[in-house]
Structure formats: structure tokens, C-alpha cells
Structure 1
């Protein structure tokens, strides 16, 4: 089994690029603001974390491409045969809105594979290319698949790119589900009442450790374990007993050859909805017992970037490991009783050990990744990857959207 290294990590959020986002989080800043991109009158919220000054040349060009412009600006050159996994829930949904309302543009110009096609074109890639759409765990599933491909020798490098937009269609849809908070989200707070949508993009280049060292690539982190599972409970709500997330975390520990005591901290999904946050805390308590493993979430500052969330959070995990620091859970001021002693509203030193990051999505989807610092001895143990949702390595290519 090959060890998996992260050698490049980039992100774009409402707070800026990866460096600006990391500094902003540590300073307690939030990118959530009143929505200006469309009229939110009639929705139960007017808040979102949109990337500032994101513009498109015409109604037929998606803002997704403008987001991709920022993400790929200054990106390193890659071998043309580098495999690409692109993760998104809705791709160029803003153009489809324009077509439906005004007849501007062609739906053929914004296929679900738009992100993969445009990334390949701009970076000159002509190798294996896949689009992963697994609801709000899309990027996490893509990273899990990339890790599995490298660990099993199916590839020695994989590029993962993810992006999603705040659009009127998505915003009003979440509003109709009454999933949005009337105020900026309060993850793990006793008074939490819904999520805040966000947008963003991320890029992570994964390599086998052997190739990374041969090319003198800086290793930002190691992807030590991963897991994907489905609780098959409800089309939008999570299983309240956390069974899907529990299975996912245990699977990632098995892949890493680790046990719960090896996990130093958790980057949680933390949407700020009543049931998601409660489900996560239930799952973590089941896996880690009464041990007070530090938990944090970034969606109170960055909003919920849907299919891109897991990639943005994975890129931030690299910064957490580099700086040995966990950012505050912005928006939380009165911890849920189950979160007391776990979730903090100020930066916290990161102990040595594995960093777990989790994401969940509609349709019962759950996914988890385990990262370690480059100098730590952690990697995939020499056994087969526990099969997910079907029993083969190829089943990690996605899930229901």
C-alpha cells in the first residue's frame, strides 16, 4: 500500500484565498453578509457567505468559471496525464437559472461535467477525468477516492478540484426546506436554528509519498485514512443516532490502522442545523467515548459551501497541522450542553495526532478523512480498502446528489 501525501492545497472562500481565509478564521472574522447577488425577499434568511467581486462576462458564462479563474491563478503546472476528480453539486446552476427565466444561453454549455472540463482545458490535462456529485460530501468523497487510487497503485498522483455557488435556485430551495437560519449560522450553539449558505472552491494535489519525494515536492500533510457510508434513513435528514457517520469514522480509522485514541481533533461538518450538529455530537461520543476530543467547525464564518465544503476544509486542515492550531467555531457563543468542553469559540492549540474531518449530505451520505502532519508516522496499513456502498474501489466515484 502506498502512503498518500498532500503536496498542493489552494482555496477560495468569502474571506479570500487559503492564506487570507486561515488568517481570517484565527482572527475571528466572518465572511457572512446580506445577500446582494439576487433578491432574497420572501426567503427565511437574507444571509450568505459569497465570494466578493465575483463577476461574469455574460449571462451565458457561469460564475463557477470566475471562481475557477481565482482558484487556478498561479496554480503549478501538472503532467498532462494527471487524473482529475472534480466535485460539485450543481456546477453552472446560475446559467440554467438564466435560461429558465430569460432564455439566455444554452443548457448544453453548462453540463454537470463543466468543472472537470474547464479545469482540464485550463491546466492542459488529458488523462482520466471524473465528476463526483455526492451532495454536501462531494469533495470529501472525491478526496477519499483519490486516496484509494493512490494507495492501491492505480495512480501515483490525482488532482481534486471542487466548487459550488450560492445561486437563487439553491438559496430558495434551502429556504423552502426551512433549513436556513434567519441570522448567521451558530454551529453547535444551544440556540442554533439553521445553516447559512456559502460558496467557494478548493484544489488539492495528492501524490504517492514516493513520487512526492522523487519530485522534491513539499509534503503539506498525509492523508492517512478515509471512509464513506450511507445511513439510508431520509432524503434530507440525517439518522439521529449517527449510525452513518459512526460507520464512516470507524472505516477511516481502519484504513489508517489507527484507533480512536490516535485522533487529536475533529473538523466537523457543523452546519448549525438542530439535527446535523446533534447527530455529529452523538456520533463522536459513540466513537470517542467520554474523551474530550476538541471539535471545531468553520461554517459559522465561511457558510456551507455544499459540495465544495469538504475540499475547503481539507485545505484548511493542512494549515491547522502546519500551525498546530485549531480555529475558533465562529458564531457559537452558548455551547450546546453536549458540546461543552469540546467546541470552543477561540483558537485552540492542536495536540499531536490525527486530524479527523467529516462531512454529511442529503440522501444519508457521510464521508470522513484522517490527516496527519508530514513528520508523523501515519499511513495506510497493508490491507484492502474497506469497500464503500458497493464493495469495489470504483464505488468511491460518487453517490446520489
Structure 2
């Protein structure tokens, strides 16, 4: 099996474009979740989300191309023979809102295939590619699929792009589920009462070790293992015993050929909902026992970016590995009983170079990645 390297990573979040603004925002403890001004929220409660600063889209157009351009403008060169994977749950769904108001729109942009076409055209990629939609674990699955292509020798370069918008369509859906918090979300905090939506994107270029060396690309991190499992429990609620996440994590560790004791920290899904966070703590305790591993969630700072969440978090893990520290979990001031000594409001040192990144989503999906340090 070939080694998988992450040779480039760029993100766009409500903090701005790039890993530097994201890292600085997290270290400062500042949340980017704020009142929504993009669409009317009079009829909704709550009225906050973490939106990227985008210009209003022209009538009949989606904000998605603008967000994609922000994302790809920060990425380095992409070989034209790269395989392509995208991950989005709703693509240009904001076009529906314009059509509802009588504005003509090319509703084809709602389809994920349009996102693939835009990325292909930008880099002249020969691969048709495909989109992964697995709810809030979409980009984690896309990264796992890309890594599988490289590890098996089916490809030696794979571009994985993930992004999702905050739209009224999505906002109204989560509001109807009563899943949103009236304040910025508090992952793993005993006072947590729901999630905050966010938008953003991540682009990661994966290469085999041989291709990276041949192209003169530095490895930011190595993608050592990945696992995917479905708990088949409920349309929206996770299995409370964490069975699906436990299986995904153990698959990832097994593929990486490392014991649980080798992992020194976890980038968790951490949505800030009562059941998700408790499920994760239950699963991690089952895998890692009584070890108090540093545990982090980004969602109290940039909101839940849905299909882009895993990609953004994997890119952030490359920075954690490079810096040897884990940033604060913004919003967690009083950790849940099971998170005591694990979730911190301050920067935490990491005593090693192997991190776990996990995501879970509607429909029972769970996914996990094991990442190690790249070149120094």
C-alpha cells in the first residue's frame, strides 16, 4: 500500500481565507458566529450563523461560485492528471430562494455536478470526478476515498474540494428541527443546547509519497488510516452508545496499523447538541479507555459547515501537527463531566505526532481519519 501525503491545504471560513486567520481566531478564543444579514430571519429563532463575507450574488446566481473562487485562489498548482472529488450537501441551493421570489435562475447550479465542472475547468483536469454527499461527514468520506485511490495505486494525485453555504433553505430546515442554539454553540459544554450553522470550504491535494517527491511537494501531513461506518439508528439522531463511531475509529486505527495508545489528541465533530457530544464522549471512552486525550471542536468558532466540516478540520489538523499544540475549543467554558481534563479553553500541548479526526452525520454516518506529521 502506498503512503498518502497531504501536500496542500486551503480553507475559507467565517474568519477569512486561509489557515492563518482560522488558527489566530481559535487561539484568541473569538467566535465568528454573528447575526445573519444575508436573508431575513424575522420568522426564525435563533438568528445567528457563521457566514463568510461574500458580496451579494447577482440576481439568478448562486453564492457558490464566489465561495469556490475564494477557496481555489489560495491553493497552489494542481496537476491536470489529478483525480477529483468534491463534497457538498446542498451545493447552490440558495438559487431556490431567488426562484421563490420570481427571479429567473439556472437551477442546474444546484446540482453537485456543476461544482465538479467548475473545478475541472479551473485546473483543466481530465478526470470527470464525482461528488460525495454523506451529510455532515461528506468531506471526511471524500478524503477517505481519495486516500484509498492513492493507497491502492489507482491514482497518485487526488484533489478533494468541499464546501457548503448558509442559505435560508438550510437555515429553515435546522430551525424546524429545533436543532439550533440561540447563542454561539458550546461544544462539549454542560450548558450546550444546539448547534450554530456555518459556511466555508476546504481544498486538500493528496499525493503518493513518490509523486510528492517527484513533483517537489512538501508533505504537510500523512493520512495514515481511515474508517467509515453507519450505526443505522435514526434519520437524525446518533446511536447513543456510539457504536458506529467506535467502528469507524477502530477501522481507521487498524488501517493505520497503530494502537489507540499512539493517538495523542482528537479533532472531534463536536456540534454542541446534547446527544451528539455525549455520543462522541461515549465512543472515545470505549476506544481509548480512561486516557484523558486532548479533545477539540471548531464549531463554537466557525459554526457547523456541514459537508465542508471534515475537510476544514483535516486541514486544521495539519496545522496542529506542525505546531505541536491544539487550539482552544471556543464556547466550552464548563466541560461536560466526561470531557473534564480533555476539552480546554486554552492552547494545549500535544505530546506526539498522531491525531484522530472524526465526523458524524444524519442517517447514522460516521467517519474517522488518522493523521501523522509531515516533513519538518
Which TM-score applies when normalising by structure 1?
Answer: 0.91
Which residue of 1 is the match for residue 217 of structure 2? 217
Offset from partner CA, 1:47-70 (integer Å, 9 cap, x none): 100002x02441222111110111
In structure 2, the gaps of 5 or more residues are: none
Which residue of 2 is the match for residue 22 of structure 1? 23
Which residue of 2 is the match for residue 159 of structure 1? 159
RMSD between aligned alpha carbons?
1.2
Q: CA deviation at 1:325?
A: 1.1
Single out whichever of 39-48 and 196-205 deviates more from structure 2: 39-48
Which residue of 1 is the match for residue 180 of structure 2? 180
Runs ≥4 residues deviating over 6 A: none
Which residue of 1 is the match for residue 262 of structure 2? 262
Q: CA deviation at 1:107?
A: 1.5
Counterparts of 1:63 and 1:126 in 2: how far apart (Å)? Answer: 26
Q: CA deviation at 1:209?
A: 0.6
Which residue of 1 is the match for residue 4 of structure 2? 4
Q: How do residues 143-158 of structure 1 correspond to structure 2 at under 5 angstroms?
A: 143-158=143-158
In structure 1, the gaps of 5 or more residues are: 377-401
Decide whether the 8 Å contact of 2:324 with 2:353 is kept in 1.
no
Counterparts of 1:134 and 1:214 in 2: how far apart (Å)? Answer: 34
Q: CA deviation at 1:215?
A: 1.4
Which residue of 2 is the match for residue 292 of structure 1? 292
Single out whichever of 83-92 and 63-72 deviates more from structure 2: 63-72
Counterparts of 2:286 and 2:375 in 1: how far apart (Å)? Answer: 29
Q: How do residues 201-350 of structure 1 correspond to structure 2 at under 5 angstroms?
A: 201-350=201-350
- Say how many residue pairs are matched: 375
Which residue of 1 is the match for residue 118 of structure 2? 118
Q: CA deviation at 1:127?
A: 1.4
Counterparts of 2:218 and 2:353 in 1: how far apart (Å)? Answer: 20
Q: How do residues 25-40 of structure 1 correspond to structure 2 at under 5 angstroms?
A: 25-40=26-41
Which residue of 1 is the match for residue 200 of structure 2? 200
Q: CA deviation at 1:122?
A: 1.4
Single out whichever of 99-108 and 121-130 deviates more from structure 2: 99-108
Aligned to 1:58, the other structure's residue is in SS state coil
Offset from partner CA, 1:153-209 (integer Å, 9 cap, x none): 010010000000000010010010010001110000001000000000110000001
Counterparts of 2:364 and 2:263 in 1: how far apart (Å)? Answer: 24
Counterparts of 1:339 and 1:157 in 2: how far apart (Å)? Answer: 38
1:92 to 2:95 alignment: no
Offset from partner CA, 1:338-367 (integer Å, 9 cap, x none): 111111111111220310000000000001
Decide whether the 8 Å contact of 2:91 with 2:109 is kept in 1.
no
Aligned to 2:66, the other structure's residue is in SS state helix
Counterparts of 2:34 and 2:56 in 1: how far apart (Å)? Answer: 21
Single out whichever of 225-234 and 23-32 deviates more from structure 2: 23-32
Offset from partner CA, 1:108-159 (integer Å, 9 cap, x none): 2432222211111112212141111110000000000001110000100100
Counterparts of 1:32 and 1:163 in 2: how far apart (Å)? Answer: 18
Aligned to 1:368, the other structure's residue is in SS state strand
Counterparts of 1:338 and 1:264 in 2: how far apart (Å)? Answer: 17
Offset from partner CA, 1:6-52 (integer Å, 9 cap, x none): 00000000011221111111111211101111111222211100002
Q: CA deviation at 1:291?
A: 0.8
Aligned to 1:226, the other structure's residue is in SS state strand
Decide whether the 8 Å contact of 1:99 with 1:106 is kept in 2.
no
Q: How do residues 345-384 of structure 1 correspond to structure 2 at under 5 angstroms?
A: 345-374=345-374
Counterparts of 2:22 and 2:353 in 1: how far apart (Å)? Answer: 24
Counterparts of 2:358 and 2:82 in 1: how far apart (Å)? Answer: 26
Q: CA deviation at 1:103?
A: 4.2
Counterparts of 1:214 and 1:80 in 2: how far apart (Å)? Answer: 15
Aligned to 2:360, the other structure's residue is in SS state strand
1:59 to 2:54 alignment: no
